[in-house]
Amino acid sequence: MRLRELQSLELPATADFHVHLRQGDMMKLVTPTIRKGGVDTVYVMPNLTPPITTVARALEYKAELEAIDHSVKYLMSLFLHPDVTPEVITEAAKAGISGVKLYPQGVTTNSENGVSTIEDYFPVFTAMEKHDLVLNLHGEAVSGPPDLTLEEAFLPMLKKIHEAHPNLRIVLEHCSTKAAVAAVRACGPSVGATITAHHLFLTGDISRVNPHAFCKPIPKTPEDRDALLQAVVSGDTKFFFGSDSAPHPLTAKTASQSPPAGVFTQPLATQYVILALEEATERGVVKEEDVTQERLAQFLSLSGRKFYKLLHGEGEVPRIKLERKASRIPTHIANEAGTLQVGLVRAETPIMSLSWV
């Protein structure tokens, strides 16, 4: 498929299995942008302040989101913490909570209360395996050998958890390396992975100098980026979309030498992926014949829904339409009063417009 020459494209609605919707005024600003990006289902991260460690708070947060936009399906998660015991997992399963997110302590935004010794939580993982909850891994080690990225240093832990709990559904979040793609493929069918839009077009040299492109895990080399692109169009259903869209106030991103980590892509989530694949085919990184409507649907929508056991038939998924109408990525979004702004990466780049069928 020659994406750059394509004037329109119809796909099943995107399902985004990794979003940060924040709280307070930021939540009110970004939640209405979900459907603008062609997304009808989101897996919501629990790293609020304080983190979501109880079923009651997860359900309360879900109600807050539904009050803003009830047309989106919100899948809720707990933040792995000493308060999350096997008994809490039983309660979570009964309440319809989808999973638990593991953050190694201090590796990213709002992870100060994260896990220091992962093996201590193996009894919790056993309970999750029993009740069929998903374990979501922020796959970075706190430290590692100088010749490895923090993601590569974490990969033996992925293998260790999987071998100890072979039926536990595990998602390695926001893969950023060729090694992570290989590690996920080496695991059994209960292990999948999300790939963001921004890791499909960013590399570390860009991310380190552009505050709107700065995130964790930091994008890596062109070789790593290209391995992710190739995984997206491979037809391998282990890999599916999770934007890791992470908004921060524009002032925080631009007024400091140390901007907070996070790339905001929510209002154009689907279009950013299409843009990255357009550019990849032009560079010859992926073959045009590999970029098919079926494989785009798999990555953006169907594979993730199947992994999370949400899909019984493709016909039940709403559809979206992408068209070329001289649209461009805006510089930012803002609330009505203009008191809160969030910048977007790659502002002014031409991009496809999106509508709901």
Q: What is the mean pLDDT of residues 246-255?
A: 95
Enter the pTM of the model: 0.96
Q: Is the pLDDT score of 108 beyond 80? A: no
Averaged pLDDT score across all residues of the chain: 96
β-strands 134-137, 99-102 pairing: parallel
Residue 246 belongs to domain with CATH number: 3.20.20.140
Instruction: Summarize pLDDT for 13-48 with one digit per residue, the tens.
Output: 999 999 999 999 999 999 999 999 999 999 999 999
Banded model confidence at residue 143, pLDDT cuts 50, 70, 90: confident
pLDDT at 257: 81
User: Which of left, alpha, beta for 217 (phi over 0: left; psi -120 to 50: alpha)?
Assistant: beta
Mean pLDDT of 210-221: 96
Q: How many domains does the chain have?
A: 1
Question: Tell me: the pLDDT tens digits for 42-61?
Answer: 999 999 999 999 999 999 99
> Residue 74 above 80 pLDDT?
yes
> What is the average pLDDT across 164-168?
98
pLDDT of the residue at 146: 80
Residue 187 has what pLDDT? Answer: 98
Mean per-residue pLDDT, 285-303:
97
For the chain, give the secondary structure using H, E and C: CCHHHCCEEEEECEEEEEECCCCHHHHHHHHHHCHHHCEEEEEECCCCCCCCCCHHHHHHHHHHHHHHCCCCEEECEEECCCCCCHHHHHHHHHHCCCEEEECECCCCCCCCCCECCHHHHHHHHHHHHHHCCEEEECCCCCCCCCCCCHHHHHHHHHHHHHHHCCCCCEEECCCCCHHHHHHHHHCCCCEEEEECCHHHCCCHHHHCCCHHHCCCCCCCCHHHHHHHHHHHCCCCCCEEECCCECCCCHHHHHCCCCCCCCECCHHHHHHHHHHHHHHHHHHCCCCHHHCCHHHHHHHHHHHHHHHCCCCCCHHHCCEEEEEEEEEECCCEEECCCCCCEEECCCCCCEEEEEEEC
113 pLDDT tier (thresholds 50, 70, 90): confident
Measured at the CA of 347, the angle between CA 178 and CA 48, to 5 degrees, comes to 65
Question: Does residue 109 carry a pLDDT above 90?
Answer: no
Model pLDDT, residue 256: 75
Query: Stretch 124-150: mean pLDDT, rounded?
Result: 94
pLDDT, residue 173, reads 98
Instruction: Please give the residue range of the domain that contains residue 95.
Output: 3-356
Closest to 106 (Cα-Cα) out of 247, 224, 261: 261
- Residue-wise pLDDT for 218-240, tens only, equals 999 999 999 999 999 999 999 99
Q: What is the pLDDT of residue 142?
A: 86
